[in-house]
Amino acid sequence: MAEKPHINLIFIGHVDNGKSTTVGRLLYDTGALAEQEYRKIKAEADALGKGTFAFAYVMDNLKEERARGVTIDVAYKKFTGNKNSFTIIDAPGHKDFIKNMIKGTSQADAAVLVVTAAKGADIVGQQPQTKEHAFLTQVMGVKQIIVAINQMDTIGYDEKKYNEILSAMKKIMTGIGFKEDQVQYVPISAWEGENVAKATGKMAWYKGQTLVQLLDTLKQPELVTDKPLRFPIEDVYTIQGVGTVPTGKIVTGMLKVNDKIVIMPSGKTGEIKSIEEHHEKIDVAKPGNNIGVNIRGIEKKDISKGDVIGHVNSPPTVAKEFIAQVIVLNHPTAIPVGYTPVFHIHTAQVSCKLEEIQKKIDPKTGAVAEENPKFLKTGDAAIVKIVPLKPMVVEEFKKFPQLGRFAIRDMGNTVAAGIVLSVTPRDAAAK
CATH of 319-430 among 3.40.605.10, 2.40.30.10, 3.60.20.40, 1.10.1740.10:
2.40.30.10
pLDDT at 98 over 90: no
Name 336's bridge partners. 375
Domain segments of the chain: what residues?
A: 6-215, 231-311, 319-430
Give the mean pLDDT of the chain.
83
Average of pLDDT values for 233-253? 87
Percent of the chain with pLDDT over 70: 82
The per-residue pLDDT for range 333-358, each reduced to its tens digit, is 999 999 999 998 988 999 999 999 99
pLDDT value of residue 140 = 64
Same fold, 6-215 and 231-311: no
The per-residue pLDDT for range 153-178, each reduced to its tens digit, is 999 999 999 999 999 999 989 888 88
DSSP assignments along 212-238, one per residue: HHHHTTPPPPPP--SSPPBEEEEEEEE
pLDDT confidence band for 101 (50 / 70 / 90): low
pLDDT at 99 over 70: no
Name 148's bridge partners. 114, 186
pLDDT confidence band for 363 (50 / 70 / 90): low
CA gap 101, 106 in Å, rounded? 9
Question: Which of 247, 284, 7, 311 lies closest to 144, judged by CA?
Answer: 7
pLDDT at 79 over 90: no
pLDDT confidence band for 72 (50 / 70 / 90): very low
Q: Does domain 6-215 have CATH number 2.40.50.90?
A: no
Model confidence, pTM: 0.64
**In contact, 263 and 303? CB cutoff 8 Å:** yes
Question: Which of 92, 184, 124, 193 lies closest to 152, judged by CA?
Answer: 193
DSSP assignments along 131-184, one per residue: HHHHHHHHHTT---EEEEEE-GGGGTT-HHHHHHHHHHHHHHHHHTT--GGGEE
Cis peptide upstream of residue 373 (ω within 30 degrees of 0) = no
Q: Which of 81-95, 363-377, 383-397 has the lowest mean pLDDT?
A: 81-95
CA gap 143, 124 in Å, rounded? 22
pLDDT value of residue 92 = 47
For the chain, how many residues are written?
431
Using DSSP's 3-state secondary structure scheme, residue 92 falls into coil
The per-residue pLDDT for range 15-44, each reduced to its tens digit, is 677 777 888 888 888 887 767 766 766 666
Backbone angles phi, psi at 236, to 5 degrees: -130, 125
DSSP assignments along 1-25, one per residue: -PPPPEEEEEEE-STTS-HHHHHHH
Average of pLDDT values for 388-414? 89
Strands 280-282 and 284-285: unpaired
If you classify domain 231-311 with CATH, what class do you get? mainly beta
